[in-house]
């Protein structure tokens, strides 16, 4: 029997996350969005409360929470602000490859750092010419004596300007396509250069930067997993992090729906609140259905991970559907507000801008469809997922 009833502990965790989002994030979210400023104070408070690094194993100082636990927290954080939520949750993306494949020495060093202080780490896969086509990456890692030398540049890196270290994918065999990619940990102080701060349409409170590795030397033992096995590690990572992105999409959509519901009860047209008009009621009903089903898909993809099962298909279902409905629901919320929805004084235009990136990062909606199609058409040949942007 399938049962998505939350435990008392999970309900308490959700209440704590919601209270934090309501009191610490919501009141300043639109200010951070307007100015594109960095929410360091919120990061420090969230870290103190244990609302960051939810998947960090307990043996390395983390809370060791499950994937469903993480999804519950991330929905509430994104309900507050998905830009700030992205900054708070990105450590999970950077550390998943380490937890999956790194040596015990690297795990203790780099996972342990995040439990000792409110530090950040970044996941570096995407390049200007290698987004969805990961095999086209040009960043290289060359073995020289007792060092790896990393050369190249990565773009659209979340928390890139503030990261303590980077999980970097680079070609160790230039001729082997995706089979020549390896994964490395690169400390910031090894010579990493922050090249460009991106001025984004939405999620402006999250930091996005271009990061360059100019002849950056790291020890040989900073290879994560086996040489030339980085692509598989990256795809396994995204299976584990897409439920979190889906949960953020649910949070954004839910916020937009709630604003639309509240506004529709207050706005009077033709002598009655617009909530009394069937046209508006149908929009609200569609919003509620989409949010509900997206949450169920998200929780399903997370629970499979908690059960130790492969969730490639389900995580793509969840990420694709939740991101798409977030865009639809936020757009409809603007429609419910009418002309006011287009004005920055009102909250829904921010949510609409924020929602768009959810269809793009950690695998575009089109990449998710490729995964879904292949898993559906050729399930027995689905052991190594297709290229996906992150």
- Residue 388 in any domain: the answer is no
Quick one: 240 and 314 in the same domain?
Answer: yes
The pTM for the full model equals: 0.95
Quick one: 166 and 32 in the same domain?
Answer: no
- Residue 150 in any domain: the answer is yes
- 199, 228, 257: which is the final residue of a domain? 228
Quote the CA–CA distance of 131 and 137 in Å, as a whole number: 8
pLDDT of residue 390: 37
pLDDT of residue 4: 86
Query: Which residues, given as ranges, of the chain have pLDDT below 70?
Result: 1-2, 380-390
Quote the CA–CA distance of 306 and 54 in Å, as a whole number: 13
pLDDT of residue 384: 46
Task: With CA atoms as reference, report the closest residue to 202 among 43, 19, 362, 358.
Answer: 358
Strands 165-171 and 223-224: unpaired
Number of structural domains in the chain: 3
pLDDT of residue 380: 55
Quick one: 145 and 240 in the same domain?
Answer: no
Helix or strand (DSSP H, E) at 147: strand 147-158
Quick one: 269 and 374 in the same domain?
Answer: yes
Structural domain of 346 = 231-381
- Return the active site residues: 362
Quick one: 90 and 160 in the same domain?
Answer: no
Quick one: 240 and 325 in the same domain?
Answer: yes
pLDDT of residue 3: 81
Question: Which pair of structure tokens corresponds to residue 148?
Answer: 């790896």
Quote the CA–CA distance of 12 and 362 in Å, as a whole number: 29
Question: Which pair of structure tokens corresponds to residue 193?
Answer: 């250069």
How far is CA 1 from each of CA 4, 5, 20, 192, 299, rounded to the nearest angstrom? 10, 12, 33, 50, 15
DSSP conformational letter for 387: P
Strands 208-219 and 181-187: unpaired
Quick one: 60 and 182 in the same domain?
Answer: no
- Residue 3 in any domain: the answer is no
């Amino acid at each position: 029997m399938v049962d998505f009833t939350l435990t008392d502990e999970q309900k308490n965790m959700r209440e704590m996350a919601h209270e934090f989002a309501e009191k610490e994030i919501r009141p300043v979210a639109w200010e951070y969005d307007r100015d594109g400023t960095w929410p360091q104070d919120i990061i420090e408070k969230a870290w103190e409360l244990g609302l960051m690094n939810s998947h960090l194993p307990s043996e390395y100082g983390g809370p060791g929470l499950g994937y469903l636990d993480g999804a519950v927290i991330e929905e509430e954080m994104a309900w507050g602000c998905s830009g700030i939520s992205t900054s708070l949750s990105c450590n999970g993306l950077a550390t998943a490859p380490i937890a999956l494949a790194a040596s015990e020495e690297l795990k203790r060093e780099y996972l342990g750092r995040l439990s000792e202080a409110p530090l950040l780490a970044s996941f570096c896969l995407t390049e200007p010419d290698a987004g969805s086509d990961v095999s086209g990456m040009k960043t290289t890692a060359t073995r020289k004596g007792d060092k790896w030398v990393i050369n190249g540049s990565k773009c659209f890196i979340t928390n890139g300007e503030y990261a303590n270290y980077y999980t970097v994918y680079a070609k160790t065999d230039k001729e082997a396509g995706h089979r020549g990619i390896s994964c490395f940990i690169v400390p910031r102080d090894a010579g990493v250069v922050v090249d460009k701060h991106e001025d984004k349409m939405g999620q402006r409170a999250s930091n996005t930067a271009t990061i360059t590795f100019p002849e950056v030397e790291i020890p040989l033992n900073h290879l994560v997993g086996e040489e030339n096995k980085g692509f598989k590690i990256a795809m396994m990572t995204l299976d584990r992090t897409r439920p979190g992105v889906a949960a953020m999409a649910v949070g954004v959509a839910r916020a937009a729906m709630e604003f639309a519901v509240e506004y529709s009860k207050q706005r009077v047209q033709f002598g009655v609140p617009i909530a009394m008009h069937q046209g508006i009621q149908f929009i609200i009903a569609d919003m509620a259905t989409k949010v509900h089903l997206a949450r169920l898909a998200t929780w399903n993809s997370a629970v499979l991970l908690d059960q130790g099962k492969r969730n490639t298909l389900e995580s793509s279902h969840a990420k694709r559907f939740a991101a798409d409905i977030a865009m639809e629901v936020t757009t409809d919320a603007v429609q419910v507000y009418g002309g006011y929805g287009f004005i920055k004084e009102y909250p829904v235009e921010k949510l609409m801008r924020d929602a768009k990136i959810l269809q793009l990062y950690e695998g575009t909606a089109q990449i998710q469809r490729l995964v879904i199609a292949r898993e559906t058409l050729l399930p027995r040949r689905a052991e190594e997922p297709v290229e996906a942007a992150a």
